[in-house]
Structure 1
Amino acid sequence: MSDVQDHYSNLLAKQYTWMFGMSFSAKVAEQKAILADALQPATDDSGLGLAVDLGSGPGFQTIALSEMGCSPVLALDTSESLLKELQLHQKELPVQTICADLLQLGQFVSPASANAIVCMGDTITHLGTRDAVEGLLGSVFDALVPGGRFVISYRDLSAEATGLDRFIPVYADEDKVMTCFLEFDRTDTVMVHDLVYSRVNHQWLLEKSNYRKLRLPIDWLNDAMVRVGFIVHKGQAGRLLRLVGQKPQPR
C-alpha cells in the first residue's frame, strides 16, 4: 500500500476534510445516520461495546460511532496527519487512534471482542489485491462477537468508464478546485489521478498525485463475505454502495 500512503502524504490528507464540502460536524451527522441504519438493532443497549474504524481518516465514522455510544472506539489509519486531525475532534470521547495498516487488525483486537467494525469511504479498495481483501474479511470475522456487524461502503469501479466520463469533479470553491481522472489501464485495478488547483497570490498552482484502487464488483465482494461466514445485506451509503455483514449467532 506504499503508493496509497504516499498519495495521502503528498496530496490527499491535507484536502480530505475540505473536499466533502461540509463541516466536520455535518459529515459526522451524515455518517451517524448511515451507521445507525446499518447497525440496528445491534446498537441497542446490549449491543454497544468495542467498535473499530478501519481506515478512519480524520474520524467521521469514529466520532459517529462514539457518539452513538460505542466504547471504546479504535481508529486505525496509516496517515499520521489525519489521525492528528481526528484527535483534535475527539475531546473526551473514548477513542484510541492507532497508526497502522488495517491488515494488522488482529494485532490490536482480540478474537470475538468487537461489536462493530467499519471500513468506509472506499477504504477497502486501497488494499493491494483481492487476496488481501479476503484476508481482511477473515480477520474482521474473527474479531467480531457473535451477532457483531461489519459495515463496508465503497465505489464499484468494475465497469470501465470511457471518454469524458473518466473525469470527475470532486469539489471547488473560489480558491481551490479539485478534480479526478480515472485510468482503466488494468482489469483488476484503476489508476486514480487527483489534481488540485489552488489560488495563491493571484496565481493558480497545481498539485497532482496518483494511486491505484482495486476494482471490486459488488457481487464478488458479497460472495467473499459469504464465504468467510457473514450473513450479508446490500444497501446504499449516500453515493456509495454499502454491504453489512453480520456474524451469525451460535445455534
Structure 2
Amino acid sequence: MHDTQNTFYTSISKYYSEIFPFNPMQLKFVQNKLGELHGKQILDIGCATGELAFQLASGGAEVTGIDLNEDLLEQAIGNKKHEKLTFQQGNMLELAQDFSPQQFDAVLCFGNTLVHLNSEELVLQMLEGAKTVLKPGGQLLIQQLNYDYICSESVEALPVIDTENIRFVRRYNFADDSELVGFQTDLEIKAINRIVSNETPLLALKSKTLKTLLKKAGFRNIQFYANFKQDAKGGKHLPLVLSCEK
C-alpha cells in the first residue's frame, strides 16, 4: 500500500507545487488557532515541498516538516531554507518514536494526508502518537476531504486542475463492500504531451468516525469546519477542516 502511494507522489513530485500551490488561508488558520507564532514548536506532517512549513518558520515558529516521499523532501530541503526549519523523512505512524513527549505546541496534518492510512486502527495509532508529542493544551489541526459529502453524493470527480504546464484529473472509484475508495489520477504534462496515470487507495474517513477516534485518543474541544476560513461544516463542501486540543 505504501509503495503504491510513494510511486504516486514520486510521479507527480516535479509538478507538485504547481498542482498544489501554497494556500495563504492555511497559514491564517494556524495563526488564528495558535496566536503568536514566534517560539511555537510545530510539526507539519506530510509537508511535501515545504511551502506551508517555510511560511510558518518565516512567521517565527520552529518547524519540523516530515514526509515519506524522498522526491518531495528533496525539493523542500533544496528550495525552502530557513534557520527555524528542519525537514526529515518520517512516518506519521511513528511520531512517538521519532520525537520527544510533549515536544510540540501544534501538530498539523493537511492536504488529505490522514486518509492515506487505510484503516481506522491506523488512524487511531496516528492520533495517539500526535497526542504523545503534543504539549498539554497543544493543538492538532487536520484537513482532509469531506467524505460525508463525497460518499453520500457519490462524487466521482474532483475539480480539474489546469495550469500552463499541466492538467490534473482526479476521479474516485467506490466499492460497496469497502471503506476504501480508489483515487485515480491523470497528470497531463503539456510540453511533452505525456499523461502519467496512477491509482492509490484512500480511506473514506467520515466526520463522525473521525470524531470518535479523536475522543478515543484523548482529544477535546473538537471543532469541524467547511474550510480554512472556519465556515460552518455541513452541506456540499469538499474540504473538511478540524481543530482539537490535547
Measured against the shorter chain, the TM-score band is: 0.7 to 0.9
Q: Distance in 2 between matches of 1:209 and 1:245?
A: 33
CA displacement at 1:50 relative to structure 2? 2.1
Counterparts of 1:1-251 in structure 2, within 5 Å, are 1-9=2-10, 11-20=11-20, 22=21, 27=22, 29-40=24-35, 43=36, 48-71=39-62, 73-158=63-148, 159-160=150-151, 165-185=155-175, 186-200=177-191, 204-231=193-220, 232-235=222-225, 236-237=227-228, 240-247=239-246
1:215 corresponds to which letter in structure 2?
A
Q: Distance in 1 between matches of 2:219 and 2:99?
A: 19
Q: Distance in 2 between matches of 1:44 and 1:95?
A: 13
Q: Give the secondary structure class of the aligned counterpart of 1:92.
A: coil
TM-score by length of 1: 0.84
Q: Distance in 1 between matches of 2:28 and 2:109?
A: 16
Q: Which 5+ residue runs of structure 1 have no aligned equivalent?
A: none
1:207 corresponds to which letter in structure 2?
V
- Segments of 4+ moved more than 6 angstroms: none
1:226 corresponds to which letter in structure 2?
K
Report which stretch shifted further, 135-144 or 172-181. 172-181
CA displacement at 1:127 relative to structure 2? 0.9
Q: Distance in 1 between matches of 2:110 and 2:28?
A: 14
Contact 1:222 1:243 in 2 (8 A): no
CA displacement at 1:148 relative to structure 2? 0.7
Q: Give the secondary structure class of the aligned counterpart of 1:57.
A: coil
Change (3 A) 1:55 1:44: closer
1:14 corresponds to which letter in structure 2?
K
CA displacement at 1:147 relative to structure 2? 1.1
Q: Distance in 2 between matches of 1:28 and 1:60?
A: 9
Q: Deviations over 1:56-84 (max 9, x none)?
A: 1111331232123222x111101111112
1:4 corresponds to which letter in structure 2?
Q
Q: Deviations over 1:107-146 (max 9, x none)?
A: 2211112111101110001112110000111111111111
Q: Distance in 2 between matches of 1:234 and 1:153?
A: 10
CA displacement at 1:35 relative to structure 2? 1.2
1:2 corresponds to which letter in structure 2?
D
Q: Distance in 1 between matches of 2:27 and 2:79?
A: 15
Contact 2:103 2:134 in 1 (8 A): yes
Contact 2:57 2:82 in 1 (8 A): no
How many residue pairs are counted as aligned between the two chains?
233
Contact 1:28 1:63 in 2 (8 A): no
Q: Identity of aligned pairs, percent?
A: 21
Q: Give the secondary structure class of the aligned counterpart of 1:237.
A: coil
Q: Distance in 1 between matches of 2:55 and 2:75?
A: 15
Q: Distance in 1 between matches of 2:79 and 2:205?
A: 32
How well do the aligned residues superpose, as a CA RMSD in angstroms?
Answer: 2.1
